[in-house]
Structure 1
Amino acid sequence: MSNRAFNFNAGPAALPLEVLERAQAEFVDFQGTGMSIMEMSHRGAVYEGVHNDTASRLLKLLGNPSGYQVLFLQGGASTQFAMLPMNLLTEGKTAGYVKSGSWANKALKEAKLIGDTFIASSSEEDKYMSTPDVSRLQLPENTAYVHLTSNETIEGTQFREFPDTGSVPLIADMSSDILCRPFDLNQFGLVYAGAQKNLGPSGLTVVIAREELLKNSPKHLPTMFRYDTHAESNSLYNTPPSFSVYMMNEVLKWIEEQGSLEGIEEKNREKADLLYQTIDNSGGFYRGCVHPEDRSIMNVTFRMASEELEKLFVKESEKEGFVGLKGHRSVGGLRASIYNAVPYGSIKALVDFMNQFQKSHG
């Protein structure tokens, strides 16, 4: 399609065009049922088939590790900031949080409302322009879990490696970089992610957890906030976001077609390298915000000489069909979110625009 925008939104974000076109073809009549999947019962065999296939397809992409279960929930990752400690931070325990930026801080803020916490590591002194050192974490004996945010969308940092926390469950908010590269799920007790960046449309939150962490939710919790409620009912205790689950299944099929996670990572690094090289080779006209070794391959943040020039960059880019290049309101600057579904051609178009903008205003 020639009229597609160059979509660099941080989320909801770009979806693969092939997925949108498949969904369009099935939108009114799904698999000959005479109904859209949005219209059918979530208790029926047709939807349950899609539901179960989505969970198994996700685990297959992650190597089919034994002992894990997928939950399809709602409320975004922000609800998981509270639901996680409600279920796992029991009396007499403490939870370690790695402070890597804006989203990690929000997760910590919610956990403090539930129980005892401590800072396992932090990059606050570096204004979160690097990832915290997690190579030698000191964990109290009563640590319930260690939580980190694998990729900070606002600052533009991303962990290259994850810590070994031994018998203490490692928990990760992977909302903005899940399935952008292979990772060993066996390192984690639980990972969660809002779908609206790499998995599908908004409205769906995915939790992947060791089964033992989902079995013993505290009895005093309201039913809908208990992990065991959703684990025991195959995420069908209440009506799931059925269209979002269907779309996620189509996105997972698309990832398989790209060469699975290895193929996706290769494409993502090619895109990120092109953009970072343009920034680094601009003679200081564009300045990357994050230490090079901690740069995200999902969210590329950069600055210019003045806020006025950055505003002009955004204004002129929008005229050329670029969407979402303004930095987050809390930090300013510029940001290009280049998630899985953002094609290489969009990065090439952005780089060409950046070079032309520098010629005109440098």
Structure 2
Amino acid sequence: MLDGALPTILIVDDSPENLTVLSELLQLDYRVRAATSGEKALRIAATAPWPDLVLLDVMMPGMDGYEVFTRLRADPQTREIPVIFVTAMDSAEAELRGLDVGAVDYIAKPIVPSILLARVRTQLELKQARDWLKDQNAYLEAELARRMSENLVVQEVSIHALAHLAEIRDPETGNHLRRTQGYVSTLAHQLRDHPRFSEFLTDRVIDQLAKSAPLHDIGKVGIPDSILLKPGKLTPDEWEIMKTHAKLGSDAIEQAERDADRLVEFLVLAKDIAHYHHEKWDGSGYPEGLAGDAIPIAARLMALADVFDALISPRVYKPPMTFEDAFNIIVAGRGSHFDPDVTDAFLATFEEFRGIAVRYLENEPDLPTGNRPGRA
């Protein structure tokens, strides 16, 4: 019902005399549409102006009122229209059946005009209230979706702002964050149906993994420049300090978890990634020396993504490798450095890895010839 427009009432009765009586009674306050059969009623109900209320006779030849009601409820366009049964069957059983099937009211003939008008008015007011609530709910749902979208944007910007703190300390990493984010997402989608990973890699977790990945090296903000930016090989003591960035990163994220007033899912994954992405499948990694399935899945994916990107990227202590050389090193690390199944996922998606790398490397001046588009 449009604001300012008369409510529309559809009256259905096989008796023209009854239709005339009801029409004359209602037409001063309402727009009245009439049908002399169930078939005509269904056609009218499905066309504009759509009825706000149906007064439906039960006993009609051919399609009776119950069947008309059933068909109205089966059609998404008409299922919400309230129906009042109007019938000469005035037994309690007939009224109970009408209400049981879902009619909003039941009026027995002969009609008492004042009672009919009062019940019609009541049902139209109730429908107007339901329509208002429905519109309000739709508005609130849209507003909630908008605010959630804004929150996600703020969350993503905040994550990248934090991650860039580490990148600022190590400026030669370039687009490392975006590349590793893409690699992790690629591996996760490839492994989502694998029996070892399917229970963990739900759509929600994959989305959270992509958000968490940029925080993997956040702990580098705690490493002195003399070590982080040293162009030569680190001494054993310097290397021990460098390795602490994994624990520093997970500690910082854990502190953020404690500051939050509720569980923040992506921080749980981010903490695992930061702490364990330098662990190795054979147990020779750091900081905990975990091996095999004891290493969190998120960290296993990040481990391969991080190493691949480090190999193809220029660093203060080395030039970048070609894709072919990096590919061979990853393959050689299957079962020692990397989870064998994660390595196999890399093999299956290598072209996607190369595409992600080229997308974010091609504008960097130090990109080696072997890593330019079209070269292995």
Mark yes or no: TM-score above 0.5: no
What's the TM-score bracket when you normalise by the shorter of the two chains? under 0.3
- In the superposition, the TM-score normalised over structure 1's length comes to 0.21
- As a proportion of its length, which structure holds more helix? 2
- In the superposition, the TM-score normalised over structure 2's length comes to 0.20
Larger Rg: 2
Q: Name the structure, 1 or 2, with higher relative contact order (CA <8 Å, separation 6+).
A: 1
- As a proportion of its length, which structure holds more strand? 1
